Structure 1
Amino acid sequence: MLSRVADALYWMGRYLERAENLTRLLLVTEDLATEIRGFNDKLAQEEWGELLAIFPVELRTTPGNGSESAALTYLSAFLASPTNPYSVLYSMKKARDNARAVREALTLEVFVTLNDAYRALEAAGRRRIEDVPAFRDTLSRDHGWCFLKLGESVERLHRAAVVLGVKLRSLGAPGPHKSLPVYYTQWRSVLRGLSSLENYRKTYGARMEPHSVIHFLVFDPTAPRSLRYGASTVKSHLDAISGGDELTPSGRLIGRIAARLRYDDMRVTTVDDAIPLVDEVAAEVAKTHDAIELMYFGT
């Protein structure tokens, strides 16, 4: 496969995943901020502010006083801003641009649906990526598909590690002045933000214990959004592309991450234990991305 085509499909997968992740985080943050603003408006504003740690960008408009004003500022900046490189609209535009560059590698259904989704978002504000079945149903499962899914899985793993790093630092242990109901509501929102609340409840029931949430989101081998599962998925796509050659630079990097997440679960028992690990995962996934670009795209 031409490196130009592989590069475009890889980034198309990353941008689509980024748009879906951000849409979900905006919905979850809005729900949480609305729930807590009545008795702790400052905390509600801080929840919105954490988006800047996850998606580092300079806002053109400074959030006003109060969480409702902050919500309008952040929703405007991250949902439909054409200039914010992390906004949903921007990600959809970049995904469409990459699709245009490799029109010959896509089915008509994929191209038309992606174009329609972008135009609907541009006009109306939101179109959920998971509601676009053409991506699942019409593309051949060839090398192009592998690069598309590789980009998606790299973005998902990296962003999950970044989100966890930000949220774990914010939550920590419940202090004497922290409301326990709010504290556990925040943990529930972390699970929702990573599409993991229902799967967590299937494993742990209604119990919302920080240690259990950390173990589930970092080490669970079957949870689709856990770091361990994500590293395994990236490795599987790289193996499919390289023919199982684990000696490639990207294969070695992701292999080390996957091995650590497979065997380090007993060493991580607290929030403080988990923070260095999720930071390391985020950094190593960024290096894996660089190795992928160098080897397959020549950049």
Structure 2
Amino acid sequence: MLSRVADAVYWMGRYLERAENITRLLLVTDDFATETQGFAEDLAQAAWKDVLAILPFAELTAPVSAFAPLSLPYLQAFFVDGRNPYSVHYSLRKARENARAVREALTVEVFTSINETFRGVEAYGERRPDATGLRDALASTHKGLFGILGAIENTLTRDEAWHFFKLGEALERIYRTALIMRAKLPALTGGARTDEPLYYTQWRSLLRSVSSLENYRRARGAGMEADLVVAFLLFDAHSPRSLRATSAAMKDCLDRIGGNGELSPAARLAGRLHADLAYDDERAVRRASLALLDRVVDAVTRMHEALTAQYFVS
């Protein structure tokens, strides 16, 4: 496959996954902040500050006003501000640019759905709605993103381009999930458990942030014990956004791309990461979960660098 095509479909996968992740994170954070703002203002503000930690190098482009809803500057910055490289607008624009570069490899349904969803976000930015309008537009965009992913899943050929797309998607997913957990776990596991309803609300919010609340309840029941939630997000083999399941998806994509030849540097990194998440003693690793998350972020960064050197530099 041409390096140009591999690069474009890989980044299309990353940017679409990033747009969906950011959209969901904004929706969940807005829900949590709205629910807690009246009685736990510090937690509402901390939830939005976590967004800045999860989306690195991003800064608010509008000042926080005491007279505006707490969510407004964050929704503006991370939804419709095309200058912010971690906004939904920017991610969809880059996904669209990469899709246009490999238009011949895509179906009409995929290209049209990407284009329409991007145009919708662009229009929301031009109208500059208030916080309620942005929240409604964000929910609509989230549905549009699932429409794109459905078109991809149901119309694209399972060829080498498909594996590069799914590789980009999986790499972005595990990276962003690790950052979400890294940002939120210290506050969730470091303090005394004094307010039971608030405690459960915080853990539910974390699970919703990575689309795993219902999957967790199905596997572990209604209890929200810290060890159970962390173990589920790290090690569950069946929930598609756990680190173990996502590392398996990355490894599978790299194995298919590499064929039966010698393992590439990226494939070796993916194999070691998957082994850490699949075969290490669960309780021992769980106790050092923050260190594990740091290793995941580092491994994924090096994996991307190895992929770039091997496949994307012509």
TM-score, structure 1 as length reference: 0.94
Moved over 3 A (4+): none
CA contact (8 A) 1:55 1:86 kept: yes
Unpaired stretches in structure 2, ≥5 consecutive residues: 125-136
Residue in 1 that maps onto 2:301: 286
Residue in 2 that maps onto 1:150: 167
Deviation at 1:291, TM superposition (A): 0.6
Residue in 1 that maps onto 2:17: 17
The secondary structure found in structure 1 opposite 2:69 is helix
Aligned length: 295
Deviation at 1:269, TM superposition (A): 4.1
CA contact (8 A) 1:80 1:88 kept: yes
Alignment of 1:229-248 (within 5 A): 229-245=245-261, 247-248=263-264
CA distance in 2, matches of 1:201, 1:213: 10
Alignment of 1:1-299 (within 5 A): 1-56=1-56, 57-65=58-66, 69-124=69-124, 125-126=137-138, 127-128=141-142, 129-132=145-148, 133-175=150-192, 178-245=194-261, 247-264=263-280, 265-270=282-287, 273-298=288-313
Q: Which amino acid aligns with 1:216?
A: F
Change (3 A) 1:244 1:210: farther
Deviation at 1:246, TM superposition (A): 5.9
CA distance in 2, matches of 1:64, 1:279: 34
CA distance in 2, matches of 1:289, 1:63: 35
TM-score, structure 2 as length reference: 0.90
Map Cα deviations across residues 225-263 of structure 1 (whole Å, 9 max, x no partner): 100111010000111111144621001101110001112
Change (3 A) 1:122 1:116: same
CA distance in 2, matches of 1:285, 1:198: 27
Q: Which amino acid aligns with 1:283?
A: D
CA distance in 2, matches of 1:201, 1:53: 27
Unpaired stretches in structure 1, ≥5 consecutive residues: none
Deviation at 1:61, TM superposition (A): 1.9
Map Cα deviations across residues 266-298 of structure 1 (whole Å, 9 max, x no partner): 31344xx21110111111011111111111111
Change (3 A) 1:269 1:6: closer
CA contact (8 A) 1:245 1:251 kept: no
Deviation at 1:174, TM superposition (A): 3.1
Q: Which amino acid aligns with 1:275?
A: L
Q: Percent identity?
A: 51
Deviation at 1:122, TM superposition (A): 1.4
Moved more, 185-194 or 100-109: 100-109
CA contact (8 A) 2:61 2:73 kept: no
CA contact (8 A) 2:78 2:88 kept: yes
Map Cα deviations across residues 83-107 of structure 1 (whole Å, 9 max, x no partner): 0001001100000001111112112
CA distance in 2, matches of 1:97, 1:167: 33
